[in-house]
Structure 1
C-alpha cells in the first residue's frame, strides 16, 4: 500500500534545510500541503535567512503546494499565528513534525547557563509550543499526527551535549504523555531519533560517510510515523536506510527484605537483571509492577 497525504495539511519546523527540508519535500510529493517553517538562523540559533522560501519554491516547482513561515518556535504567539494562517488557507492541520533545533556544544564544565537554557528552549519548549498550537484543532477534527525529534544523545548520552541531550530526552517524555492524552481523539504522537549528515552534524561525520547518511534516508521513517496508519507512543531511530526501534524498559525488580542502602547494594545484580523486563505503556505501570512484586508475583 502506497502512503499518500492528499487532503492533509502538514507543518514542518526547521524545514529550511537538512532533515526538515527532506520531510517537507517528500510530504508535498505525496500530496500534502506543507507549511515550511524556518527562522533561517545558523545552527547556533543566530541570524536569519530566506531558507523557508527557497524550499517552498522547490515544492512549487515540482507541482506541490506550500507556504513559508519565518516564525520562531520559541514564540507561542508566532506559532499560533502560523497555525491560524494555515487553517485559513487550507482548512485544518493534520500533521506536525517538530524538527527545529540548534546546537551549542561544549563540555558541561565550560557550558554557560544561557547556552543550556537556549538549547532546551528551542528543542523542548519550542516543540511544546507548536504542539499546543495545533492540539485543539487536531482534537476537534479527531485526527492528528505529531512527530517529535529526539536523538541518540538524549536516549544514550554524548560528550559535550548536556543541553541537547536534556532537551531531546525531554521530547521523548513529552511525546509519551501526549500519545496517551491524544489517543481517544485519534491524535497519534511518536518520536524519531535521526542520524543524518546535516548542517547540525557536519563536524561529526567522516567525509566518506556523508553520502550514506543523507536526510532523504531518514524521511521514510518520519513519514510513516505521521501517516494515517501510524502507530503511537513509538520511538524509531533512522539513518542511512536503517530503521531501529528504541524502548524505555523496566526490570521486574526485587522486593527487598529490608529497605536499606545496604540491601540495594546487595541485591543490585538482581535488581538490574533484564530477564522478563517490560516496556511500560504509561507511568502507572511502574506502580503496578511494584504491587505485583510485593504480592510475590
Structure 2
C-alpha cells in the first residue's frame, strides 16, 4: 500500500501571555491508503489540533506535511482548494458544526455548489444519493438540524464530507456526543464507507473501545507529543509506555474473572507552555529517573512497527 498522508516533525504552537503553548510538538507518522490511524490521549493532549493542522484549518508552526507524496505544508489559495477536494473533516459536535438556518438538502448541497459546476437537478440527484449512502431518509430532505436527533445530524456531517469524493477524512471524535447505540451505527457506517470507497481515516477519540474497533494503527499522544504508536491489536495486547499502560488500565473488562488493576496517576501535570527539556510524563511516572527530567526520550522501535518514546521501555517491560 502507498502512503497517503505523512507528517514530519509537525509542530503547532500558540502564543499566550505566559509564552508559547506547544499543542503539537514534533509529531511524525504515516497513514497508508485505505487504513485508519486512531489517535488517543486525554483531553488537552493535542489530538484535535493535530487533525486541524493537517487539514490547514490551523497553519503549522514548523515541520512538513505530505499528501500523496507532495509537500502540502504551505499552500496558496488554489493549492488549498485542491487539497480540500481530497481531504475533509467530520466534526465532533454534529449540531454546532451545521448551519441551523439551512435544511438537510442545503447543507449537503453546499460543497457540491462550491466545488462543481452542476445543474440544479444534478445537485438534487447527488444530494439524494448521498442521503441514501449515509442512511438518511429522503423524507428529511427539507428538514432543519434542530428537528433531528444527534445520530441523524452526524449523518449529515458524514454526507457533507463525502460530497466532494475525498480520499482522506479526519474524524474528530465523531461519536463522542452520541448515545452508545447510535455510536455503533455511525462507526459501522464509517467502516462500510471505507470498504466501499477505499477511504483513509484519521480517527481522533478518547474512547478506547471505539478506537480498538475502528483502527488499524493507534497513536497515543501526551501533551503534544507521540509516546507510542503501532498496530491496534499489538498496542492493546502489549502496551509499552507507562502512560499507555495507565490509560488502557481504565478500560472496563467484561469478565469478573479477568479484572485488570487500575493504574492511578499521581503527581503534577507538566505545563505545555514553554516546556522544559525531558519527558513530559516524568512528573507522573513511577519509573522516572534523573535522565527523564533532563533529556527528552527519542521515539524508537521497540518491536517491528511498534514505536515508543521512553528511556526505560525495555527495563519496564522485561
Q: Which has the higher strand share?
A: 2
Q: Settle same-fold status: TM greater than 0.5.
A: no
| TM-score of the pair, normalised by structure 1 | 0.30
